[in-house]
Amino acid sequence: MNAPRRWTKSAAVLGFTAAALLAGSGIATADEWPPIPNYPSPSVPFETKGFLTPTDPAYWNPLLAENRLTSPYGTSTRIVCTAFHGVLTGCWQADAQGYPHKLVALPFDFPNVTGSSMPGGGAQHFVYPGFIPGI
């Protein structure tokens, strides 16, 4: 009776250890900053803070076609983007520890209702991954 109980305890400890390792691996695996391409290239990564955030009153103006960012960090942490002819093609933002995370580009610049006829579809709205459930 003692051996099965010891086996059950060992299996439980191993299970909890495996679960902790799997859960912790998601935190440790951040994205990477965008690579610097071989020159000459029209799309070179650059640092920017040029986003409207929910704390800016202009963020909520549906007639303003400007890039928006919904993030728990606002623009307080490092943001690196790539662009082609002035249209953002991707952005990454550092978390509180400095690890990069690729921002999710929404299919439209919510709450903006104008600007879709601009080159490249106009301004974009980026969201920090996991900040809004389902995005």
The encoded tokens of residue 49 equal 């803070």
Q: Which residues of the chain have pLDDT under 70?
A: 1-29, 119
pLDDT digits (tens, 9 = 90+) for 85-108: 888 999 999 999 999 999 999 988
Return d(Cα 5, Cα 2) in angstroms, integer: 5
List, in sequence order, every residue forming a beta bridge with 91; answer none if it has no partner.
Answer: 81
The sheet carrying 68-70 orders its strands as 68-70, 125-127, 104-105
Stated pTM of the model: 0.72
User: What pLDDT sits at residue 9?
Assistant: 54
Residue 33, helix vs strand vs coil? coil
User: What is the amino acid identity at position 124?
Assistant: Q
